[in-house]
Amino acid sequence: VGMTHAGVLHHFGSKQKLLLEVLAYRDESDVAGLAEKHIPDGPALFLHLVKTALVNELRPGIVQVYTVLSSESVTDDHPARGFFEHRYAKLREEVSAAFAELCAQEGVTGTARIATASASILAVMDGLQLQWLLDPSAVDLAEASAFAIEAIVNGVLHPGPPLETYAPGASPR
């Protein structure tokens, strides 16, 4: 864009802060055409997450920036740590609210696993993005995301038997 390293430092302070601005802009532009400029509420959120994976297949550079910065942000002093802590907390809250609404709509009363399911959806999406970045021919990002989200949603709505049922005598703990 014709900006020198000194110009970047002057305007943003660091490369990481510039990349955070890119991600913030991506988040804003992703919802610009949506009602109230916000991700959908309720069960429509799950379909929105699948659509996001489909859109992400068209922008690998942004997905790479996101993946690298989110991974680096786990260190205490990283400038992106606060951004990602807030982002994940907000997304877990939004997905949990969507689960709560869907459970109420479907008459499901056993909602103890909503927080775990919400964190799992976000973790699976991030993990699939990483695998896709490493080998796009091996992972269909949108299809795998849809599969995982459907499996997790169905696991909350229609819980099956525990894994131990399929491997008698084995235990994950």
Q: What is the pLDDT of residue 144?
A: 98
Query: H helices of the chain, where?
Result: 5-12, 15-31, 44-56, 60-72, 81-106, 114-134, 141-157
Q: What pTM value is reported for the model?
A: 0.84
**Average pLDDT of the chain, as a whole number:** 87
Backbone angles phi, psi at 165, to 5 degrees: -60, -35
**What spatial distance separates the first Cα and last Cα of the chain, rounded to whole Å?**
53
CATH-assigned architecture of domain 40-159: Orthogonal Bundle (1.10)
| 35 vs 90: which has the higher pLDDT | 90
pLDDT single digits (tens) 123-133: 999 999 999 99
pLDDT single digits (tens) 97-107: 999 999 999 99
The domain ranges of the chain are 40-159
pLDDT single digits (tens) 21-70: 666 766 677 666 667 767 889 999 999 999 999 999 999 998 998 899 89
